[in-house]
Each structure stands twice: as C-alpha cells, then as structure tokens.
Amino acid sequence: KNLLEIDARISVCRACPRLVEWRERSAETKRASFANQPYWGRPITGFGADFPKLLIMGLAPAANGGNRTGRMFTGDQAGDWLFRALHRAGLATRAEVEHAADGQKLFGVRMFSAVRCAPPENKPSIEERDCCAGWLDAELARLLPFARAVVALGGFGWDAILGAVRRSGGTVPTPKPKFGHGAVAVLSTADGKPLNVIGCYHPSQQNTFTGRLTEKMLDDVLSRGQELAGL
Ligand code: SF4
C-alpha cells in the first residue's frame, strides 16, 4: 500500500470504541472558544514528506487540537512550539500554523503519532496503543527505507518507535535504551541500516509552562536529529 492508501484507511478507522466515542463527542460539544468552527473528529494521519530522512514520533492528537483541525500538531500550543522550532531549523515553510489548509510544508520530515485518535486526558490505554500499532507499522514500512533518524517525543513516543522497529525485523539494543531528553539510541532497520532515535521531552504545556522543556532544548534536539538524518 502507498502512503495515500494507508492515510485513507486510517482516517475511517473505528477500532477503539472509547476513542471513537471521545473524538466524536469532543467534536460535538466543542470548546467554547472554537464553538463556530467545524471539527474533524476522526483519526489523524501522518503529515509531511513522502520520502523523509527525519521522523517525528508523537503520542496522540489533542481533542481540541488535531481532532479539531484534522492535521497533526495543528491547533494547540504543543504544535505551535514544534512547528516554530521546525521553522527555525529550516525544516518547515511556516513558523505559525493555523489550520490544515494553511500551506504548511515540511522538508525531509514526516510526523505521526503512536495513537491516531484523541484520548481522554491525553492518555491512551495500552490496548488502544497496541490496537493502533498496525497503522504505525504500515506507515513505517513505507518510511524506514528512507529514514535515518527519529525524534521521539516523550517516553510514550520512544517506546512506540522502538517497538515498531523491532516488529519490522530491525534491531534494538539490549538492555532497551532508556528515554531521556537528548538520549540517542542507535537501532538498525531490517535491511541493516542504522537508525538513530533521539529522545525529546514532549512540548506539552505541562513541560513548556514549567520550563522543563525550553525552546533552546527543543532546538538542540532538532538540530541533532537534522545532523544524524543528514538534512
Ligand atoms: Fe483506529 Fe488507531 Fe483510532 Fe484506534 S486509535 S480507532 S486503531 S485510528
């Protein structure tokens, strides 16, 4: 399957009853500040280049962010942080993102999440993560031949990419490398190419408001990812 076909299939998936209910209820009730806007209310596909060297692995869309706009990291503060950093690194055309048709483009980068539907309290269950892993595997099967590095956002993203590479027939060092901001794990893909995974604190408000993640820290990780990806 090509990426467009995978995206089309993801966008109509209803495999997780709790998440389907939550994504649709959030789209009906809407946050007051977005009351006049249409909500997407469906799964969110990957976004970016078709033949990327650098991947960005996220957790799941936010109920009033990606679940509203229909595009990853678009419409919430975490996404604003990430896209601004990608723009500073020369990897995105726009510093500010507004909606799914704002013309944003990524260069050599593709982002996607471990879970494609917005979960209550941003916390998918283990069963939901495992249920969505099939989409991650399908997308990675198309991307791993080109990818040389992955920025994993948070411990959830880190575990998701390590698990997916292992399922694809690649090699993950033992003992399993631990997530940390700036930590680098060197994996190899099924065809024997090195794949560097770089840990990064998730740019959620919880981390950015408290100063646990600063813009400089995010810039440094992206720059390392860029270097390891050869971008
Ligand atoms: Fe389907 Fe993934 Fe959404 Fe579950 S989280 S309904 S598997 S797209």
Q: What is the pLDDT of residues 6-59, one digit of tens each?
A: 999 999 999 999 999 999 999 999 888 888 989 999 999 999 999 999 999 999
Which residue's C-alpha comes closest to atom 7 of ligand 1? 132
The per-residue pLDDT for 34 is 87
Q: How far is the CA of 8 from the centre of ligand 1 (A)?
A: 13
The per-residue pLDDT for 1 is 73
Domains of the chain, by residue range, sit at 3-229
Residue whose token pair is 């590095």: 149
Give every strand in the sheet of 184-188, ordered side by side. Answer: 47-48, 109-113, 54-58, 149-153, 194-200, 184-188
The CB of 138 under 6 Å from ligand 1? The reply is: no
The CB of 131 under 6 Å from ligand 1? The reply is: yes
In angstroms, the CA 228 to CA 155 distance is: 20
- 110: three-class secondary structure by DSSP: strand
Whole-angstrom CA distances from 119 to 43, 97, 145 are: 11, 22, 30
In angstroms, the CA 42 to CA 175 distance is: 37
The CB of 190 under 6 Å from ligand 1? The reply is: no
Q: What is the ipTM of this complex?
A: 0.99
Beta bridge partners of 113: 58
Q: Is the peptide bond before 43 cis (omega within 30 degrees of 0)?
A: no
The CB of 10 under 6 Å from ligand 1? The reply is: yes
CATH 3.40.50.300 is right for the domain spanning 3-229: no
Is 224 buried (19+), middle (13-18) or exposed (0-12) by CB count in 10 A? Answer: middle
In angstroms, the CA 133 to CA 162 distance is: 12
Q: How far is the CA of 138 from the centre of ligand 1 (A)?
A: 13
The CB of 16 under 6 Å from ligand 1? The reply is: yes
The per-residue pLDDT for 141 is 96
The per-residue pLDDT for 189 is 97
Which residue's C-alpha comes closest to atom 4 of ligand 1? 16
Tens of each residue's pLDDT in the chain, 231 residues:
799 999 999 999 999 999 999 999 999 998 888 889 899 999 999 999 999 999 999 999 999 999 999 999 999 999 999 999 999 999 999 999 989 999 999 999 999 999 999 999 999 999 999 999 999 999 999 999 999 999 999 999 999 999 999 999 999 999 999 999 999 999 999 999 999 999 999 999 999 999 999 999 999 999 999 999 999
Q: What is the pTM of this model?
A: 0.96
The CB of 114 under 6 Å from ligand 1? The reply is: no
| 216 membership: H or E segment, kind and range | helix 215-229
8 A C-beta contact, residue 113 and residue 60: yes
